[in-house]
Amino acid sequence: MTGVQGFFYPRTAGGSASLIPSPPWYYSGDLLTVEYRTDPARVAELLPPPLSPAPEDPGAVAIIWADWQSCSSSRAELLDPVRSQYKEAFVVVRCAFRGEVYSRCVYIWVDKDFAIARGLHQGYPKKLGSVHQTRPHPFAQAAPRLAAGGMFGATLAAADRRIAEAVLTLRSPAETNGFVNGHPMAHHRFYPGIERGAPDAFAELIRSGAAEFQGGQPWAGDVELRLFESPTEELARLTVEEIIGGYYRQVGVVWDGGSTLARLGEDEG
């Protein structure tokens, strides 16, 4: 699309009205992760062709709360933080494609529009939600410390219904903050056809991951997770059969593009 500027809608003469600027995109955030196992069939049903279940631990799920500050290369958003800060909750499973294991985000909610746009670009199926998670702070009057015993709560609501909540009590430093979201993402990106009943106008499978990643000391802990039913959500189908673990970690991330794994047409998936 030539003649106008801007990475995403709206494209204009100047390019400054675009909801998001071009990558790279930068993120500093706090991640609270709950990993658990569900019925592997409930994961498999969420994997469209050409994906298949992960060969090992196919029922593993991660639900991750993230409290983010983000910006583009200009860093302009940081000084106008309504354009920089957002909260996010996302649900990740694993899958396989051409012999490799990938992570895949199946559900994700954020509370800002620029976060929806960056997500859709990366194949994250973003919707708006109300997301909250306890923040650590050096002063403990009204905050947990990043130390054994520190307690963190996390909640997610959408369309005025609470759909998930978790409580994590830190126990000890850990090697990682989970494994389910530890692979590059394999996401579908698509645009429904504009004509009534038409197949997708565009569909592809992409691979995407961080260009840079820095993480602080991960903490592991005991965690409770509750999922609630909603007529507009299917998260509760991923029933919590067995908790694997809970984790906390502060991270810095740069995202700077992905790659196409497969173009998809009506007959290919």
Question: What part of residues 108-137 is at the interface with a second copy (CB under 8 A)?
Answer: 108, 112-113, 116, 120-122, 125-128, 130, 132-135, 137
State the nearest-atom distance from the C-beta of 182 to a second copy, in Å.
18
Residue with smaller CB distance to a second copy, 28 or 240: 28
- Of the candidates 230, 238, 260, the residue with the CA atom closest to the CA atom of residue 92: 238
Q: Does 147 bind a second copy (CB under 8 A)?
A: no
Compute the distance between CA of residue 258 and CA of residue 144 in angstroms, rounded to an integer.
37
Which residues 164-193 are close enough to bind a second copy by CB under 8 A?
A: 165, 167, 188-192
Compute the distance between CA of residue 249 and CA of residue 259 in angstroms, rounded to an integer.
27
Contacts of 45 (CB under 8 A, 6+ apart): none
* Choices 54-62, 93-101, 140-148, 174-182; region in contact with a second copy by CB under 8 A: 140-148
Q: CA–CA distance from 10 to each of 63, 154, 166 (Å)? A: 32, 34, 37
* Choices 19-27, 54-62, 94-102, 177-185; region in contact with a second copy by CB under 8 A: 19-27
Q: Does 250 bind a second copy (CB under 8 A)?
A: yes
| Binding-site string for a second copy from residue 81 to residue 110, where x marks contact by CB under 8 A and - marks none | xxxxx--------------------xxx--
Length of the chain in terms of residues written: 269
* Choices 12-20, 92-100, 172-180, 239-247; region in contact with a second copy by CB under 8 A: 12-20
Compute the distance between CA of residue 18 and CA of residue 243 in angstroms, rounded to an integer.
42
Task: With beta carbons less than 8 A apart as the criterion, state whether 261 and 232 touch.
Answer: no
Contacts of 148 (CB under 8 A, 6+ apart): 170, 171, 172
State the nearest-atom distance from the C-beta of 163 to a second copy, in Å.
10
Q: Using the rule CB under 8 A, which residue among 97, 102, 152, 248 binds a second copy?
A: 152
Q: Does 231 bind a second copy (CB under 8 A)?
A: yes
* Choices 54-62, 94-102, 139-147, 239-247; region in contact with a second copy by CB under 8 A: 139-147
State the nearest-atom distance from the C-beta of 122 to a second copy, in Å.
8
- Of the candidates 52, 53, 83, 46, the residue with the CA atom closest to the CA atom of residue 68: 83
